[in-house]
Amino acid sequence: MKAIVTGGAGFIGSHLVNALLDEKVEVVVLDDLSASDSGNEAVPQDVKLYQFDVKSADAYRAVIEEQPDMVFHLAAQADVTKSILAPVYDADVNIGGTINMLEASRTAGVKKFIFASTSAVYGNVLKVPITEDDATVPISFYGISKLSAERYIQLFHDLYELPYTILRYGNVYGPGQKPKGEGGVVAVFLERLKQKEPIIIHGDGSQSRDFIYVKDIVSANLAAMNQEQSGIFHASTGTSTSILDLAACFKKLNTSLDVKFTSGRAGDISHSCLCNEKAAARMGWKPTTDIYEGIKNTWHLT
């Protein structure tokens, strides 16, 4: 079996590439390396790398040339704040790039298109936990662009019978995540812990997230390879953790850690917790790492 991983040099993508190699899958990476501090060193030496923008004709031709069985489309503009500052760029990457990969996948006869989506598609849904059938009302351009990409994927399935799995991720964290750009709050907190600086909490800290360890996200993607029926699934823990509770986990690592508060940020969701029962029932997948264990692992591997 051959798989192309777009964004395969990035945080989640690099973990997925290594897991696919362990499964004896032939892996090809398509990544412009714009989000990788280590450049092509993030890609294993025995893995072919196409250093192309996912929106480009070169990227399209790479998929046609490789004729993969699977496409894992992880390449994205994943920074909520950047999406608000540059909505055209956000749409170009997340919508235009996805359409380009869909067209290439259809032409190449790809057997499965697996897409990394996000809890941001829901916006501030006043429900805990959220299910895949709940209303999608994004409050950031990032959420809108990812939801639009989902709709294109579904229509490609309806019109061209391109099989797909859409995985709506919770808030992913783990080793290798950068504390800048699209980096999540765990990476930011870890960087401040490493620098022996106070943790900064935006707002009052009551906002909550569904934090999921990157190894569990990878296992969800592997489970999606064997999912015969196309559909949308949550890759999440189903557990809500407030930012204050997250800070308490960090204080276990360093009891002298200081916490400071500042103003909230535009586009931030107040609460997000995704029910994962559908993924458990249909894909046989469940996460295995709790929040403190994941943070401790990330700290030791950073």
Q: Which of 60, 142, 164, 173 is catalytic?
A: 142
E strands within the chain?
Answer: 2-6, 26-30, 48-50, 70-73, 112-118, 164-169, 171-173, 199-202, 208-209, 211-213, 231-235, 241-242, 259-262
User: Which of 60, 44, 54 lies closest to 7 in space, CA to CA?
Assistant: 54
142 is catalytic: yes
Residues 6+ away with beta carbon under 8 Å from 42: 9, 10, 14, 33, 36
User: What pairing do the DSSP bridges indicate for beta strands 112-118 and 171-173?
Assistant: unpaired
Distance CA(287)–CA(264), nearest Å, equals 30
Phi-psi group of 154: left, alpha or beta (phi > 0 → left; psi -120 to 50 → alpha; rest → beta) = alpha
Q: How many residues does the chain have?
A: 302
Q: Give the residue numbers marked as catalytic.
A: 142
